[in-house]
Amino acid sequence: MPDISITGPDGSFSAYLAVPQSGVGAGVLMIQEIFGVNQDMRDHCDARAAEGYFALCPDLFWRQKPGIQLTDQSEGEWAQAVELYQALDYPKAVEDLKTTLSYLRGLDGCTGKVGAMGFCLGGYLTFLMATQSDTDCNAGYYGVGIETRLNESSQITSPTLLHIAEEDKFVPPPTQVQIKDGLAGNDMVTIHSYPGMDHAFARHGGTHYDADAARLANERTAALFAANLR
């Protein structure tokens, strides 16, 4: 599918839209990593469309540099991705995601039910959407920074999955314990840990990609969506 344009309070930004073959279904708001709406994110969107969902992934770096599509295959791309990540305005990113959520719900053929699914940066933003929006369910993969927003945990009122890589260098074991303890009191949250897995184990073609762990995490996410979006 070609990229589409979405207009928000601050201007227009692009987003990749994948449509289910039937033309009818619930939606999944896909949330990018630090590499932009690249081929990996497009592949994730296409996979959700193959499962029967409208999948929409907005460009969250558009205020800095629109249309970024990086990989994790070179130091130069990593440096650019980290620079964009560090300069991201998170309240504005959440605003863009809420705008995209509304757009997705209003698409012809969309049932109006929408879940959020994100990776790395997107995993953190998925958590923020769980606490700050009315998504119907959420699945965050190895989100970085969740421990800084645990005070918002009581605001999660829709089923939420968090996939944690036990060997994640960006979310070390003490931080993982902090996250689990901080969310233990909310029955809406389920946390799955993946022994031996490093950060980005579900990034297609990435250094730490693990087909078995990615498949298990995606199956759990698919079950979440089937239970709450169908």
203: left (phi over 0), alpha (psi -120 to 50) or beta: beta
| Contact in structure between 225 and 28 (CB atoms under 8 Å) | yes
Please state, in angstroms and rounded to a whole number, the distance separating the CA atoms of residues 133 and 95.
10
| Contact in structure between 100 and 58 (CB atoms under 8 Å) | yes
Q: Which of 16, 60, 55, 15 is nearest to 35 (CA)?
A: 60
Please state, in angstroms and rounded to a whole number, the distance separating the CA atoms of residues 206 and 95.
29
Q: Which of 56, 50, 42 is nearest to 110 (CA)?
A: 56
Q: Which residue has the tokens 């994948």?
A: 18
- Helical packing angle, 121-132 and 90-105, nearest 10°: 70
Query: In the annotation, is 199 catalytic?
Result: yes
The catalytically annotated residue of 96, 199, 208, 210 is 199
The catalytically annotated residue of 59, 72, 168, 210 is 168
Q: In 10 A of CB 73, how many CB atoms?
A: 11
Residue 168 burial (C-beta neighbours within 10 Å; 0-12, 13-18, 19+): buried
Query: In the annotation, is 44 catalytic?
Result: no
Instruction: Tell me the residue type at 219.
Output: E
Residue numbers annotated as active site: 168, 199
